[in-house]
Amino acid sequence: MNAIDIQSISKYYGEKHAVDNVSLSVAQGELVSLLGVNGAGKSTLINLLTGLITPTAGDALIHGKSIVKDPHQVKSLLGVSPQETAIAPNLTVRENLELMAGVHGFDRKKTKSKTDELIANFNLSTVEKQKSKTLSGGWKRRLSIAMAIISEPKVLFLDEPTLGLDILARRELWQVIEKIRGTATIVLTTHYLEEADALSDRIFILKNGRLEAAGTSDELKQQTGTTKFEDAFIKLVMDGEKA
Amino acid sequence: MRAMVFAKRNTLEIIRDPLSLFFGLGFPVILLVLLSIINKNIPVDLFSVSNLTPGIAVFGLSFLSLFSAQLIAKDRTTALLSRLFTTPMTAMDFILGYTLPLLPMALLQSVVCFLCAIILGLKMTWSIVPTILLLFVVSLIFIGLGLLIGSTLSEKAATAISGALLTNLCGWLSGTWFDLELVGGAFRDIAYALPFVHAVEMGKAALAGNYQDIWPHLGVVAGYGIVLLAIAVTLFHKKMKSI
Ligand SMILES: Nc1ncnc2c1ncn2[C@@H]1O[C@H](COP(=O)(O)OP(=O)(O)OP(=O)(O)O)[C@@H](O)[C@H]1O
Ligand SMILES: [Mg+2]
């Protein structure tokens, strides 16, 4: 069974085809990147898969469960780090993590051990008692990502996780990703192409809501006759437009 | 369980905001003290402490709408709510989570208000107990309004509507500051079509021990409370399906 099976999914906003008839599959344990220029439809696709919006047409299965018919069952499998930082401002760092563990139904003991683990992995111990609204932007971001991972999701969505992180924090996040890689299926969006190139098993490129290309970094380079992944990406998204 | 975790978070979020504590507890007490002082110098029957206390208590409860509307609207803008929508939390978990913290706050507010009134010369009688219990029913109206405003308006609009408009409306149309019979006409009719004056008159009757006069006011108050809560719940269900 695939972790994700997207079946001709579309999301229209009036005339705007934010996601247009996309079909793709992701195997369990795979790490894939969703790339595309601003407005290509990456976040919309993630919002569809995480049940925040309902498709105009089509469906998607997460571990065999339909996002349209079984949204509640799907949600217990997911971890989501939204593109915008999403934290509870008046709670401390620790309390934010405990909140996410709690709403996923963890008992007191498990909540404590998972919270300790995440605080260690994300080097949050110096700020754990600080109210999250007083953190700097990058530290808020780290917390927001940690909150997505604490529930031990089967499928993890990270929408531009490294946005606004300094190089140390990015390295840390890559380490965390390497740690959970294989146990969880990970869908990542990013505008740092070298990051996608280095981390992902496979890459999907969206353009105007449509799936433009799919494959490993090498396959995409071969397909476009380029040697650098960045060149391959530019060629693919500029295809048919004047370069 | 999930609802309790979320309720705990909301409680912390509200009580860690010093402004809400001031408006919720301090402001009504200050009003009570001020008006009592005025009454000592220029005695008016309307401002005698036994007439004043139920009105101020109801006015104090109107700040519950402000707390919940502000919190919900803020959660919507900071993307925290959409993050929680991707967890297995149900609409009922959300509604309970936003409502439960306000119940002890409503009780605390009424108790503080009556303690202060006793210090200012209110006769200590057993009728204070049923009065406080009836005020609990009144709090349903404000909790329902808070849910409604918070889940539909932006944070700014929610604060303005619940903080400025609602509290004033509640004050002016409740017959606490002046006798509605003296104004008469359409103003009086509008006031009696709304629940605020009924809430205050119900409180006055209960406090005086005239329990037979509680009806029909209790009917109007409970009716408004139930209808408003029902609308808020329905709306929230809808919101969860389409953000
Ligand atoms: N609620 C909405 N109403 C109307 N149009 C929308 C809505 N949400 C998204 N869109 C449009 O859908 C398109 C895809 O948006 P989306 O946020 O998915 O892009 P993205 O690939 O995540 O871009 P970015 O890299 O900037 O985050 C955009 O043109 C956007 O304006
Ligand atoms: Mg996006």
**Tens-digit pLDDT string for chain B (243 aa):** 899 999 999 999 988 988 877 877 888 888 888 888 888 888 877 778 888 899 999 999 998 999 899 999 999 888 899 899 999 998 889 999 999 999 999 999 999 999 999 999 899 999 999 999 999 999 999 999 999 999 899 889 998 888 888 888 888 899 888 888 888 889 999 999 999 999 999 999 999 999 999 999 999 999 999 999 999 989 888 877 654
A10 and A66 co-located in one domain: yes
Given a cut of 70, is residue A219 above it in pLDDT? yes
Q: From chain B, pick out residues whose CB is under 8 angstroms from the CB of A105.
A: 1-2, 88
Lowest-confidence segment of A98-107, A219-228, B156-165, B216-225 by average pLDDT: B156-165
**The pLDDT value given to residue A50:** 96
Q: Are A207 and A35 in contact (CB under 8 A)?
A: no
* ipTM of this predicted structure: 0.91
Q: Are residues A166 and A226 in the same domain?
A: yes
Atom of ligand 1 nearest to the CA of A42: 21
Residue among A191, A145, A187, A141 at smallest CA distance from A40: A191
**A24 located within any domain:** yes
Q: Residue A115: inside a domain, yes or no?
A: yes
What pLDDT, in 10s, does the model give residues A181-213? 988 999 999 999 999 999 999 999 999 999 999
Determine the pLDDT at residue A179.
87
How many structural domains compose chain A? 2
Note the pLDDT of residue B19: 80
A132 in the same domain as A59: no
Q: Is A210 domain-assigned?
A: yes
Q: Give A43 Cα–ligand 2 centroid separation in angstroms.
A: 4
Identify the pLDDT of residue B182. Answer: 85
Please check whether residue A178 lies inside any domain of the structure.
Answer: no
Q: Do residue A53 and residue A123 come from a single domain?
A: no
pLDDT in tens, A133-145: 999 988 999 999 9
Average pLDDT over residues A67-86: 94
pLDDT, residue A241, reads 66
pLDDT of residue A209: 97
> A125: domain range?
85-152
Q: Are residues A232 and A142 in the same domain?
A: no
Best mutation target among B2, B87, B155 (most A Cβ atoms within 10 Å) is B87
Q: Is residue A129 part of a domain?
A: yes
SS3 of residue A110 by DSSP: helix
Instruction: Answer yes or no: is A239 within a domain.
Output: yes
Residue A102 and residue A166 in one domain? no
Query: Which residues on chain A place their C-beta less than 8 Å from a C-beta of chain B?
Result: 50-54, 72, 75-76, 78, 80, 82, 84-91, 95, 99-100, 102-105, 131, 147, 151
The arithmetic mean of pLDDT across residues A148-172, rounded, is: 93
What is the per-residue pLDDT for A240? 64
Ligand 1: distance of its center to the CA of A205 in Å? 15
- CA–CA–CA angle A29, A34, A35 (5° rounding): 150
- In this structure, the answer to whether residues A32 and A63 fall within a common structural domain is yes
Ramachandran area for residue B185 (φ above 0: left; ψ -120 to 50: alpha; else beta): left
C-beta separation of A108 from A147 below 8 A = no
Residues β-bridged to residue A65: A62
From chain A, pick out residues whose CB is under 8 angstroms from the CB of B8: 102
User: Are A67 and A159 members of one domain?
Assistant: yes
Cβ contacts of B168 within 8 Å, gap of 6 or more: none
Taking the C-alpha atoms of residue B141 and residue B161, their distance in angstroms, rounded to an integer, is: 15
Q: Which atom of ligand 1 is nearest to the CA of A206?
A: 21
Average predicted confidence (pLDDT) for chain A: 94
DSSP chain B: -HHHHHHHHHHHHHHT-HHHHIIIIIHHHHHHHHHHHHHHHS--GGGSHHHHHHHHHHHHHHHHHHHHHHHHHHHHHTTHHHHHHTTT--HHHHHHHHHTTHHHHHHHHHHHHHHHHHHTT----TTHHHHHHHHHHHHHHHHHHHHHHHHHS-HHHHHIIIIIIIHHHHHHTTTSSS-HHHH-HHHHHHHHHSSHHHHHHHHHHHHHT-GGGSTTHHHHHHHHHHHHHHHHHHHHHHHHH--
Pocket of ligand 1, beta carbon within 6 A: A 13, 16, 18, 36, 38-44, 83
* Domain interval for residue B142: 2-241
Looking at the structure, do residues A53 and A64 belong to the same domain, yes or no? yes
- Looking at residue A193, which CATH number applies to its domain? 3.40.50.300
Residue of B20, B74, B86 to mutate for A, most A C-beta atoms under 10 A? B86
How far does the CA of residue B62 sit from the closest CA of chain A (Å)? 23
Provide the domain count of chain B: 1
Look at residue A124 and tell me if it is in a domain. Answer: yes
Separation of alpha carbons B57 and B64, rounded Å: 12
Which residues from chain A sit within 8 angstroms of residue B86, using beta carbons?
50-52, 75, 78, 80
Instruction: Read off the tokens for A12.
Output: 């229209």
> Residue A242 pLDDT more than 70?
no
**Same domain? A63 vs A90:** no
Q: Are A103 and B5 an interchain contact pair (Cβ–Cβ within 8 Å)? A: yes
A36: distance to nearest CA of chain B, Å?
23
Q: What is the pLDDT of residue B44?
A: 78
Is B18 in the A-facing interface, judged by CB distances under 8 Å?
Answer: no
Q: How far apart are CA A80 and CA A64, in angstroms?
A: 19
Q: How many residues does chain B have?
A: 243
| Same-domain pairing of A120 and A146 | yes
Say whether A105 and B2 touch across the interface (CB within 8 A): yes
Summary mean pLDDT of chain B: 90
Looking at the fold, whether A208 and A159 belong to one and the same domain comes out as: yes
